[in-house]
Amino acid sequence: MSIGSILVVEDDDAIRRGLSDALSYSGYSVTEAPDGEVGLDLALSMDADLVLLDIMMPKMDGLEVLAELRKSKPAQPVIFLTARGEEYDRIGGLKLGADDYIVKPFSIDELLARVEAVLRRSPGRPTTLGVLTVAGRSIDFERREVVLESGARRTFTEREHEVLVFLSSNAGRAVSRDELLQNVWGLDPRGTHTRTVDMTIARLRETLDDDPSSPDVIRTVRGKGYMLVEPDSPVEKGNL
């Protein structure tokens, strides 16, 4: 039985085949796409648990694919596959809502660990979150959206939602980057050097319309990490 469905969008035949073989051997159901156009069509038509998306591709590059995909499936989990040195593209992808990225060349163990981290639903995390009001924003965890003070609605990506759930369960307490890496990404923070947490927080603040120079919702606690401010009201359904 498949443990999850993954769409691999990669124009290099050898890399795509290697990824598919490794994922299939690990128990995933894999669908392949040789370029961005085919990849976008498949991502929109199928119900994939995760999309592995190369950045540098013909016809449509990964950034274009992700931008279009986010219009219809804002919460679709996506991991970018990037070449070493493509830092600008990686940052652009994270801003568009990619959940993570893997730099080529990478080991199969790293690939599987990152895939599992994105797909993981930790049994220790609350699953009955309802609506939380914080700093004038109404956050609906079931719908994965926020209603801003202006009345505008915005949808969280998978990774933004996971980070917000963890911060909400620790509201009023500073959560370190290492704690987020371990509990949300499922990575061992020892020896891990990445700005993924900071980029995700920046993206989450944008979704929440939270001014980074003077945030009302997610504050930076110098030397400690990030803290969700105390809610204006308790959760309406379920428990944090």
Residue 81 has what DSSP assignment?
A: E
Query: What is the rounded end-to-end Cα distance, in angstroms, of the chain?
Result: 33
CA distance 8 to 189: 27
Phi, psi of 129 (to 5 degrees): -65, 145
**Residue 215 corresponds to which tokens in the numbers above?**
């945030």
Task: Measure the CA–CA gap between 133 and 16, rounded to whole angstroms.
Answer: 44
State pLDDT tens for residues 178-195: 888 877 887 766 766 678
Helix (H) and strand (E) counts in the chain: 8, 11
pLDDT digits (tens, 9 = 90+) for 92-151: 666 777 888 888 888 888 888 888 888 764 333 344 457 888 989 999 888 889 999 899
pLDDT tens string 18-51: 999 999 998 899 999 999 999 999 999 988 889 9
**Cα–Cα–Cα angle for 35, 19, 68, rounded to 5 degrees:** 35
Give the model's confidence band at 89: pLDDT under 50 very low, under 70 low, under 90 confident, else very high: low
- Per DSSP, 124 falls in state T
Q: Which residues contact 61 (CB under 8 A, 6 or more apart)?
A: 36, 55
> Hey, what are 121's tokens?
């639903």
Asked if residue 14 has pLDDT above 90, the reply is yes
pLDDT at 239 over 50: no
Locus of tokens 């719908």? 143
The whole-angstrom separation of Cα 122 and Cα 174 is 21
Q: What is the pLDDT of residue 110?
A: 87
Q: Domains along the chain?
A: 5-119 (3.40.50.2300), 131-228 (1.10.10.10)
Round to whole Å and give the CA distance between 155 and 144: 6
- For 126, phi then psi, to 5°, come to -65, 145
Q: Which residue do the tokens 């308790």 mark?
A: 234
Identify the bridge partners of residue 147 per DSSP, sorted by sequence position: 138, 153
At residue 240 the predicted structure's pLDDT band, cuts being 50, 70 and 90, is very low
Q: How confident is the model at residue 87 (pLDDT cuts 50, 70, 90)?
A: low
pTM beyond cutoff 0.75 = no
